Amino acid sequence: MTSPLVCIVDDDAGMRTSLDGLIRSLGYRSACFACAEDFLDSTAVEESACIIADVQMRDISGVELCWMVKERYRNDNGVPVILISAFSDDKMRAGAKAAGALVLLRKPFDGDELVSFIELAIDRRH
């Protein structure tokens, strides 16, 4: 059996590298994308067990990506999306919740907390 795929969508190369290492250390596969468009155009969308996306990206934000993923999988339980952001206010949290995000974590976030949400997302999906 293939290990679950966690997709990382973040325009910050350092964050992508860091998250990629964390995901792989947990025994999961990972795929990294610098923008939401690249992710949506990929085949990884269909096999994602979990998506970790930055909120503030050019063109398509993490919240917009969350809505798009929710729409694409409306007849399914959906792919859980974990949103991350250096900035978090009430409006952003409300937008993330409305879009169906599993959680919005503020950078810098606790690694153990992120791992807990990743495992929760994968459990929901499998």
Q: What is the CATH number of the domain that holds 23?
A: 3.40.50.2300
Instruction: Look at the chain and report how many structural domains it folds into.
Output: 1
Q: Residue 73, exposed/middle/buried by CB under 10 A (0-12, 13-18, 19+)? A: middle
Is residue 48 over pLDDT 90?
yes
User: Residues 104-110: contacts with CB within 8 Å, 24+ apart?
Assistant: 104/55, 107/15, 109/84
β-partners of residue 48 are 5
| 45: containing domain | 5-125
Is residue 77 over pLDDT 70?
no
Average of per-residue pLDDT across 45-52: 92
Is residue 13 over pLDDT 70?
yes
